[in-house]
């Protein structure tokens, strides 16, 4: 491994600052090393004495980060926050450094997860019913060895990982880190615990963790579960596109000020009506089959009578307009038609339409099977084998939606599992060759 490869690996986690010295420093090489890292830079030797205070200024930034808005703040805001902490030894240059640290705060967190334009990717898949859903509010738990990573504030679940640190949390400071959440219900072993502390905005227009409901420009039918239902923002793109998870399990992106339009609007988390609505629509996320009852139509619902079969996550392709993503009503409508009719028309209208495409069968279809609860391997229906095989031939690590009886599953080829979109339970699949 050469120096540039090493610097690139180190730079994934830590910024690299290079100080050129000598009569003829290799600025090209130093630039390659510095800029291979997140927020790396080349520092003039005259600025080195001030940079020696970087560690102390990092501590100041960590102390005031919760007092400063995550967006649209100025050096004056930082100066006021520093003075409120009685940091008399902090100089004006220190304040500018603290401002720079806060501006580049993502460089000091673990925010190296994919933020592709798709509504759902590896980060956002909800495959384990024993983990809190996307959008759940959390705070530090009983086992907390991470000093002040949370700045003493609550956060929002925004994704998952497959290792010990299985829950990805974005704190209200916008810092992102992974934590362990015990899936067996022994919360004294978890780094974080579920809470009901709402997201409170400072100068932000909207932020992760905010509650929203359909707005004046809503045209997505009952994707939100019905009028006045409430969802949680789990990602903000730019200043006018938000990604929302509704309590029925559906996730999608919406306009929040794009071209002056609002698919969703903010809810006041302290409003009694909002609290009551949110309480009525929330349901237990830790729910196994023994706690469900079967209705006459064969679908399952929980003890409160909510149907779990219809909670389908609609993944739509973002329509690029002026480099911003806007939900496309035609694509969503076609997706709804696909689910209702299970047609076989090949329409190039977005990721989900492609996933549900049912035409052009491939060879070796009988080799796709899934494992039921009794441990028996069951062959997929012919139409679903076609979809899986086509997705496999296109990308062996891709995903595809399939239907088994009345349930919709997401097949994850990279992990060889299928996830029930309603219950979020996962099952093994295999491809026999």
Who has greater pLDDT, 110 or 414?
A: 414
Q: What percent of the chain has pLDDT over 70?
A: 76
Structure tokens at 72: 């649209």
Look at residue 292 and tell me whether its pLDDT is greater than 70: no
Beta bridge partners of 409: 402, 420
pLDDT at res. 326: 47
Provide mean pLDDT across the span 389-403: 84
258-275 confidence digits (pLDDT tens): 999 999 999 999 999 998
Who has greater pLDDT, 7 or 38?
A: 7
Exposure letters 61-75 (e unless 16+ CB within 10 A, then b): bbbbbbbbebeebee
Provide mean pLDDT across the span 249-254: 92
Give the dihedral sign, CA 78/81/85/87: positive
Dump strand ranges (E) for 22-113. 41-42
Name the residue with tokens 């609505």.
277
Look at residue 164 and tell me whether its pLDDT is greater than 70: yes
Instruction: Using only the alpha carbons of the chain, give its radius of gyration.
Output: 24
Q: Which of 86-90, 125-129, 278-282, 380-384 has the highest mean pLDDT?
A: 380-384
Distance (Å, rounded) from C-alpha 60 to C-alpha 223? 44
Who has greater pLDDT, 96 or 422?
A: 96
Structure tokens at 433: 């060759």
pLDDT at res. 8: 85
Residues 6 or more apart whose CB falls under 8 angstroms from that of 95 comprise 75, 78, 79, 82
Q: CATH for 332-431?
A: 3.30.720.50
Provide mean pLDDT across the span 1-29: 88
pLDDT at res. 429: 92
Task: Tell me whether residue 305 is exposed, middle or buried, using C-beta atoms within 10 angstroms of its C-beta: 0 to 12, 13 to 18, 19 or more.
Answer: exposed
pLDDT at res. 133: 94
Residue 248 CA neighbour count, 13 Å, CB half: 19
Provide mean pLDDT across the span 185-196: 88
Name the residue with tokens 């290079």.
18
Look at residue 177 and tell me whether its pLDDT is greater than 80: yes
303-356 confidence digits (pLDDT tens): 343 333 333 333 333 333 333 444 444 444 444 444 443 333 333 333 333 333
pLDDT at res. 84: 87
Exposure letters 175-190 (e unless 16+ CB within 10 A, then b): bbbbbbbbeeeeeeeb
Mean of the per-residue pLDDT values of the chain: 78
Q: Where are the domains of the chain?
A: 3-108, 109-327, 332-431
Nearest to 200 by CA among 209, 192, 213: 209
Look at residue 186 and tell me whether its pLDDT is greater than 70: yes
Provide mean pLDDT across the span 233-248: 92
122-150 confidence digits (pLDDT tens): 677 787 888 999 999 999 998 999 988 99
pLDDT at res. 29: 92
Of 121-135, 146-160, 377-391, the least confident: 121-135
Q: Contacts by 353-361 with C-beta closer than 8 Å and gap 24+?
A: 355/315, 355/387, 355/391, 355/399, 355/400, 355/401, 356/387, 356/401, 357/387, 357/390, 358/383, 358/386, 358/387, 359/386, 360/386, 360/390, 361/385, 361/386, 361/389
pLDDT at res. 148: 87
Length of the chain: 433
pLDDT at res. 208: 97
pLDDT at res. 322: 36
Look at residue 283 and tell me whether its pLDDT is greater than 90: no
pLDDT at res. 112: 57
């Amino acid at each position: 491994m050469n120096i540039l490869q090493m610097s690139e690996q180190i730079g994934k986690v830590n910024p690299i600052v290079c100080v050129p010295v000598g009569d003829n420093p290799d600025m090209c090489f130093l630039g390659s090393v510095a800029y291979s890292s997140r927020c790396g830079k080349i520092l003039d030797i005259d600025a080195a004495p001030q940079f020696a205070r970087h560690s102390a200024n990092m501590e100041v930034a960590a102390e005031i980060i919760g007092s400063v808005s995550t967006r649209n703040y100025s050096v004056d805001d930082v100066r006021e926050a520093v003075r409120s902490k009685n940091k008399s030894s902090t100089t004006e240059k220190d304040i500018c450094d603290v401002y720079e640290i806060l501006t580049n705060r993502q460089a000091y967190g673990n925010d190296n997860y994919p933020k592709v334009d798709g509504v759902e990717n590896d980060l956002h898949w909800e495959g384990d019913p024993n983990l809190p859903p996307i959008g759940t509010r959390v705070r530090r738990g009983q086992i907390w060895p991470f000093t002040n990573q949370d700045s003493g504030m609550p956060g929002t679940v925004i994704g998952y990982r497959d290792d010990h640190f299985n829950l990805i949390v974005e704190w209200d400071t916008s810092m992102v880190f992974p934590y362990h959440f015990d899936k067996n219900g022994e919360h004294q072993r978890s780094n974080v615990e579920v809470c009901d502390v709402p997201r409170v905005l400072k100068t932000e227009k909207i932020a992760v963790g905010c509650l929203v409901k359909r707005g004046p420009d809503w045209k997505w039918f009952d994707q939100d579960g019905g009028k006045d239902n409430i969802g949680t923002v789990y990602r903000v793109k730019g200043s006018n596109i938000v990604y929302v998870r509704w309590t029925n399990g559906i996730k999608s992106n919406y306009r929040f000020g794009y071209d002056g339009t609002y698919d969703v609007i903010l809810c006041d988390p302290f409003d009694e009506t909002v609290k009551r609505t949110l309480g009525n629509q929330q349901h237990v996320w830790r729910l196994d089959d023994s706690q469900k009852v079967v209705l006459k139509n064969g679908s399952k619902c929980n003890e409160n009578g909510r149907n779990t079969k219809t909670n389908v996550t609609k993944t739509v392709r973002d329509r690029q307009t002026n480099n911003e993503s806007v939900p496309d009503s035609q694509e969503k409508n076609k997706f709804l038609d696909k689910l209702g009719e299970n047609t076989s028309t090949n329409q190039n209208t977005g990721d989900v339409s492609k996933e549900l495409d049912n035409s052009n069968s491939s060879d070796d279809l009988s080799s796709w099977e899934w494992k039921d609860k009794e441990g028996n391997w069951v062959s997929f229906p012919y139409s679903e084998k076609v979809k899986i095989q086509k997705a496999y031939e296109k990308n062996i690590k891709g995903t595809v939606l399939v239907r088994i009886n009345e349930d919709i599953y997401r097949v994850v080829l990279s992990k060889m599992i299928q996830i029930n979109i309603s219950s979020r339970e996962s099952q093994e699949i295999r491809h026999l060759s």
